[in-house]
C-alpha cells in the first residue's frame, strides 16, 4: 500500500459511459465531496439529447467533466488528466481530449465484441489489448464482475446489482484522490431512504471500489489536492439553472410580489420549472402552459394582475414568444424572459451550449421594440443576473431578457451565497389609489419615463391597455403619424435611461489601456479569464472586459474600448457581440469564434489572441 501522497494543484476528470450508466450522478457526487474538501471546482455535464440512446453507441455517450483544484479554477478544463470509460464508445469519443500520459480507467466488461462493434472500432479490435493506448496509463478493471461478486448476497437481481457499478467506480476514484466516503454515504442513505437493501448494496459497492484500489496496488502513490485559498465564507455547490430560479424567488420576496412562472418544457431550461415547482411554500405559482406562447402570455396576464411574471425557454421557444414580447413592450408591464441558449437554428443541438441568440435577444422582434438584455456569465452569477433582471423589469416597467446557456445551466461551482438581508430591496411602482381624486392616466411617466402599475382590483384606476399604438398619457388608441414617432422614441429613451441605474463597465483583468482588450459576455467568462491571466503572466499588454448588460451597454463602455489598440471578442457564435460593438462604437473589433456546441478551451483563446499580439 503506497504511503506517499503526491501533491497536485488541479485535476480534470471525465466520467463517461452510457446515458443510463449513472454518469451524471457519479460526477455530481465526486464534485460534492471535493467541495467539502475545500477545493475550487467547475463542472460541465455533456450528454446526448436522447434519454436512453441506443446502448453502447457513440451517440449514447454521456459525460461529466470536472476540474477541481487547490488553486482558483476558472473552467472545467481543456484536457482530462483522468478518463473513466465505462464502455468502448465512451473511450472512443473522449480519448482525443485526454492528456498525453493521462490515466484511463476502463471497465473491461464494456469492451466486449458487441460493445467494440457498436463503438465502431475497426474489425472489432480491442484498444485495451493492442498498443493503441501505449501513451497512457491504463487501468483495466472488470467493474461488472467485481461488483456482481461483491453484491452476490445482497438480495438484488442482476439488473439492480449492475446499477451499482457507478458507486464502485466512485469508490475507486475516492481512494485515488484520498477522499472521504462520508458525504456520498450520507447521500446514498437519503436517496434510497426506506429501501434498506439498496442502501446496503450501494454502500458496499462504494466501499468495494475504495478497497479494491487500495489492495490492487495499481498506483504507486495517491494524489492529494489540497483545499483552495477561496475567500473566507460559507459556500455551497450551485448549478446555473438553480441559481437562476433562486434569483427569481429572491426578487419576488424582496419586491413583495408573487412570482408567477409560465413555462413550456424545453432543454436546457426545464430545470428552472422543476426547481420552482418545488417551492410552493414561497407562494410561487408555476404554470406548465400548453405551449411557449401561452407560457409568456399567461405571464403577461399575471404581470397585468400585479405579480412578477416570468417565463423561460431556449432559442426555438423564445422565437415563438417573440410576438408576445412585443406586446409586453407596448403594454409596459414588468416581465422577465429567460433564454437558456443552446445550439441552433431550429431544433439544432438541444443539449449543447451556444451563444448564438444574442441578436435574437437584442434585435429579434418586429418593429421598434427595445428591451433590456442581461447575461449571466457563470453558474454562480446566474442568481445575481436573475435578481437584477427582475429589478430592472419591476422598477422600469419593461420586459427584460436574461440570457444564460446550456453550459451555465448545468455547470456547477462553489458559491459563496448571499444572505437575504444583503439583497437590495426592489421597489415596485404599484399604485394604491388615484392621486388626490385626480383622473388616472395609465401612461403618465416619471422622469425616468416609467409609468405606474395600476392593478385590476384597485378602485378608481380602471383603464384599458392593448397592443395598438396609443397616446402618450391617456393611453387611448391613436393612429396619428406624429404620435407614433413620438411613442417609438419615448419607448426607446425609456430603455436607454436604464444605464443610469446600472454599474459602469469595469476592467476585469489587466491595465486600463494597452495593446489588446479581450471582450466577452456570458459563459465564456472562465475561459477568457484564465487565458488573459496567463497571457498577462507571460508579459503581454492585455486586459479583459466582460459585459453583463448587453442592452443598453454601460455608458462608459465606448471609452473603455477605445483605450486599446486591438479589441478581440471571443464568442460561441459567428461574431454577434463583435458586430454590435463595431456598429455601436465604430471600433475595428475582431471576432474569435467557435460554433461547435462546446465551450472554449483556454488554449483556443490563447492561440487566437496571440495571433494578434505577435
Partner 1 sequence: MKESSEVEKDTQSLSPKDFTSDQEVRWCPGCGDFSILKQVQTILPELGVPRENIVFISGIGCSSRFPYYLNTYGMHGIHGRAPAIASGLKAVNPDLDIWVITGDGDALSIGGNHLIHLLRRNFNLNILLFNNEIYGLTKGQYSPTSPQGSISKSTPFGSVDHPFNPLALALGAEATFVSRSMDRDPKHLRDILVQANDHKGSSLVEIYQNCNVFNDGAFERFTDKKTKKETTLFLEEGKPLVFGNEGDLKAIVLEGLRPKLVSINSMEDLPENVWVHDPSKKLLAGILTQFFEEINPKMKFPRPFGVLYKEDRTCYEELMRDQIQGAIKEKGKGDLDELLTGPNTWTIK
Site residues (CB under 8 A) for partner 1, limited to 14-33: 32
Beta bridge pairs of residue 590 = 568
Q: Which is nearer to partner 1, 266 or 545 (CB)?
A: 266
Q: How far is the CB of 208 from partner 1 (least distance, A)?
A: 25
Residue nearer to partner 1 on the CB measure, 473 or 586? 473
Burial class, 373, CB count within 10 angstroms (exposed 0-12 / middle 13-18 / buried 19+): buried
Q: Which of 307, 337, 340, 397 binds partner 1 (CB under 8 A)?
A: 307
Task: Give the total of residues touching partner 1 (CB under 8 A).
Answer: 72
Quick check: 313 binds partner 1 (CB under 8 A)? no
| Closer residue to partner 1 in complex, CB, 59/182 | 182
Among 219, 235, 363, 585, binds partner 1 (CB under 8 A): 235
> CA-to-CA distance for 482 and 265, rounded, in angstroms?
43
For position 34 contacting partner 1 by CB under 8 A, the verdict is no
Q: CB-side exposure of 590: number of CA atoms within 13 Å?
A: 15
* 457 touching partner 1, by CB under 8 A: yes
Among 141, 167, 249, 403, which residue interacts with partner 1 (rule: CB under 8 A)? Answer: 249
552 upstream amide cis, omega within 30 of 0: yes
Q: Which is nearer to partner 1, 159 or 419 (CB)?
A: 419
Binders in 327-386 for partner 1, by CB under 8 A: 327, 331
Q: Interface with partner 1 includes 237 (CB under 8 A)?
A: yes
DSSP letter assigned to residue 520: E
Q: Which of 157, 194, 231, 539 binds partner 1 (CB under 8 A)?
A: 231
- Is residue 236 within the footprint of partner 1 (CB under 8 A)? yes
Long-range contacts of 198-204 (CB under 8 A, 24+ apart): 198/156, 198/160, 200/154, 201/151, 201/154, 201/156, 201/160, 201/161, 201/164, 202/164, 202/167, 203/167, 204/150, 204/151, 204/154, 204/164
Pick the stretch among 68-76, 167-175, 227-235, 529-537 that binds partner 1 (CB under 8 A): 227-235
State which of residues 309, 399, 575, 591 lies at the interface with partner 1 (CB under 8 A): 309
**Element holding 208 (H helix, E strand):** helix 196-216
320 counts as binding partner 1 under rule CB under 8 A: no
For residue 152, the minimal CB distance to partner 1 (Å) is 33
Distance CA 61, CA 52 (A): 10
Tell which one of 96, 100, 420, 438 touches partner 1 (CB under 8 A): 420
Q: At what angle do helices 182-191 and 165-176 cross, to 10 degrees?
A: 160
Q: Which residues pair with 564 in a beta bridge?
A: 514
Q: What is the closest distance, in whole angstroms, from the C-beta atom of residue 241 to partner 1 in the complex?
A: 14
φ, ψ dihedrals at 559, nearest 5°: -60, -45
Q: How far is the CB of 361 from partner 1 (least distance, A)?
A: 20
State the minimum distance, in angstroms, from the CB of residue 188 to partner 1: 14
Contact pattern for partner 1 over residues 273 through 302, marking x by CB under 8 A: ------xxxxxxx-x-xxx-xx--xxxxxx
CA distance 125 to 132: 10
462 Cβ contact partners less than 8 Å away, ≥ 6 residues apart: none
Closest to 393 (Cα-Cα) out of 439, 336, 318: 336
Instruction: Decide if 283 contacts 258 (C-beta within 8 A).
Output: yes
Closer by beta carbon to partner 1, 152 or else 463: 463
Task: Please pick, from the candidates 77, 306, 399, 599, the single residue that binds partner 1 as defined by CB under 8 A.
Answer: 306
Q: Which one of the spans 113-121, 243-251, 351-359, 584-592 is the region binding partner 1 (CB under 8 A)? A: 243-251
Choices 73-81, 412-420, 562-570, 587-595 (CB under 8 A): range interacting with partner 1: 412-420
Site for partner 1 in 461-500 (CB under 8 A): 461-468, 476-477
Name which of 44, 35, 78 is nearest 605 in CA terms.
Answer: 78
Tell me the CA distances in angstroms from 156 to 14, 22, 164, 194, 517, one per residue in order: 29, 18, 10, 15, 60
The reply on whether position 305 binds partner 1 by CB under 8 A is yes
The residue (of 60 and 326) whose beta carbon lies closer to partner 1 is 326
Contact 307, 430 (CB under 8 A): no
User: Does residue 302 contact residue 324 with C-beta atoms inside 8 Å?
Assistant: no
Specify the residue, 32 or 368, whose C-beta has the smaller distance to partner 1: 32
Nearer to partner 1, 472 or 514 (CB): 472
Q: Is 103 exposed, middle or buried (0-12, 13-18, 19+ CB in 10 A)?
A: buried
**HEC secondary structure over 108-129:** HHHHCHHHHHHCCCHHHCCCCC
Taking the C-alpha atoms of residue 325 and residue 328, their distance in angstroms, rounded to an integer, is: 5
Mark the segment that binds partner 1 (CB under 8 A) among 88-96, 114-122, 228-236, 366-374. Answer: 228-236
Residues within window 174-213 making contact with partner 1, judged by CB under 8 A: 183
- Among 19, 24, 35, 505, which residue interacts with partner 1 (rule: CB under 8 A)? 35
Amino acid at each position: 500500500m503506497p504511503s506517499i501522497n503526491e501533491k497536485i494543484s488541479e485535476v480534470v476528470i471525465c466520467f463517461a459511459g452510457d446515458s443510463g450508466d449513472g454518469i451524471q450522478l457519479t460526477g455530481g457526487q465526486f464534485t460534492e465531496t471535493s467541495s467539502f474538501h475545500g477545493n475550487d471546482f467547475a463542472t460541465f455535464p455533456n450528454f446526448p439529447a436522447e434519454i436512453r440512446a441506443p446502448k453502447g453507441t457513440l451517440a449514447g455517450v454521456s459525460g461529466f467533466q470536472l476540474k477541481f483544484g487547490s488553486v482558483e479554477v476558472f473552467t472545467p478544463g481543456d484536457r482530462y488528466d483522468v478518463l473513466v470509460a465505462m464502455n468502448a464508445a465512451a473511450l472512443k469519443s473522449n480519448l482525443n481530449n485526454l492528456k498525453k500520459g493521462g490515466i484511463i480507467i476502463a471497465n473491461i466488461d464494456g469492451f466486449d465484441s458487441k460493445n467494440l462493434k457498436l463503438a465502431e472500432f475497426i474489425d472489432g479490435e480491442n484498444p485495451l489489448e493492442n498498443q493503441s493506448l501505449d501513451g497512457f496509463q491504463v487501468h483495466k478493471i472488470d467493474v461488472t464482475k467485481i461488483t456482481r461478486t461483491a453484491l452476490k448476497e445482497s438480495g438484488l437481481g442482476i439488473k439492480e446489482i449492475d446499477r451499482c457499478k457507478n458507486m464502485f467506480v466512485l469508490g475507486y476514484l475516492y481512494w485515488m484522490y484520498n477522499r472521504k466516503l462520508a458525504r456520498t454515504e450520507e447521500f446514498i442513505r437519503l436517496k434510497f431512504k426506506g429501501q434498506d437493501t439498496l442502501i446496503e448494496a450501494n454502500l458496499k459497492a462504494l466501499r468495494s471500489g475504495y478497497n479494491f484500489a487500495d489492495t490492487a496496488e495499481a498506483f504507486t502513490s495517491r494524489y492529494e489536492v489540497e483545499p483552495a485559498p477561496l475567500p473566507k465564507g460559507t459556500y455551497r455547490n450551485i448549478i446555473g439553472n438553480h441559481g437562476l430560479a433562486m434569483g427569481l424567488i429572491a426578487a419576488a420576496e424582496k419586491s413583495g410580489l408573487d412570482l408567477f412562472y409560465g413555462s413550456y418544457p424545453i432543454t436546457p431550461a426545464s430545470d428552472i420549472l422543476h426547481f420552482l415547482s418545488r417551492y410552493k411554500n414561497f407562494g410561487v405559482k408555476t404554470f406548465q402552459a400548453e405551449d411557449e406562447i401561452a407560457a409568456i402570455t399567461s405571464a403577461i396576464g399575471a404581470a397585468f394582475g400585479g405579480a412578477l411574471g416570468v417565463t423561460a425557454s431556449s432559442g426555438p421557444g423564445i422565437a415563438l414568444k417573440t410576438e408576445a414580447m412585443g406586446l409586453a413592450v407596448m403594454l409596459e408591464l414588468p416581465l422577465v424572459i429567460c433564454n437558456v441558449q443552446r445550439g441552433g437554428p431550429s431544433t439544432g443541438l438541444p443539449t449543447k451550449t451556444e451563444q448564438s441568440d444574442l441578436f435574437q435577444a437584442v434585435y429579434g422582434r418586429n418593429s421598434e421594440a427595445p428591451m433590456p438584455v442581461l447575461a449571466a456569465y457563470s453558474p454562480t452569477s446566474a442568481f445575481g443576473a436573475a435578481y437584477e433582471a427582475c429589478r430592472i423589469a419591476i422598477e422600469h416597467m419593461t420586459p427584460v431578457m436574461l440570457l444564460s446557456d446550456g453550459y451555465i445551466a448545468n455547470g456547477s461551482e462553489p458559491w459563496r451565497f448571499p444572505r437575504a438581508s444583503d439583497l437590495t430591496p426592489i421597489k415596485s411602482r404599484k399604485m394604491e389609489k388615484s392621486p388626490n381624486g385626480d383622473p388616472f392616466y395609465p401612461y403618465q411617466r416619471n422622469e425616468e419615463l416609467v409609468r405606474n402599475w395600476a392593478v385590476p382590483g384597485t378602485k378608481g384606476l380602471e383603464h384599458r391597455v392593448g397592443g395598438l399604438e396609443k397616446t402618450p398619457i391617456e393611453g387611448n388608441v391613436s393612429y396619428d403619424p406624429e404620435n407614433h414617432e413620438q411613442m417609438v422614441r419615448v419607448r426607446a429613451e425609456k430603455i436607454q435611461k436604464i444605464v443610469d441605474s446600472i454599474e459602469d463597465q469595469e476592467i476585469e483583468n489587466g491595465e486600463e489601456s494597452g495593446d489588446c482588450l479581450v471582450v466577452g459576455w456570458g459563459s465564456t467568462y472562465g475561459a477568457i479569464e484564465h487565458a488573459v491571466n496567463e497571457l498577462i503572466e507571460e508579459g503581454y499588454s492585455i486586459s479583459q472586459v466582460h459585459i453583463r448588460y448587453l442592452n443598453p451597454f454601460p455608458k462608459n463602455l465606448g471609452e473603455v474600448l477605445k483605450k486599446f489598440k486591438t479589441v478581440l471578442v471571443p464568442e460561441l457564435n459567428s461574431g454577434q457581440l463583435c458586430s454590435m460593438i463595431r456598429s455601436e462604437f465604430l471600433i475595428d473589433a475582431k471576432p474569435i469564434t467557435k460554433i461547435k456546441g462546446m465551450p472554449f478551451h483556454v488554449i483556443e483563446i490563447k492561440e487566437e489572441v496571440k495571433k494578434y499580439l505577435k
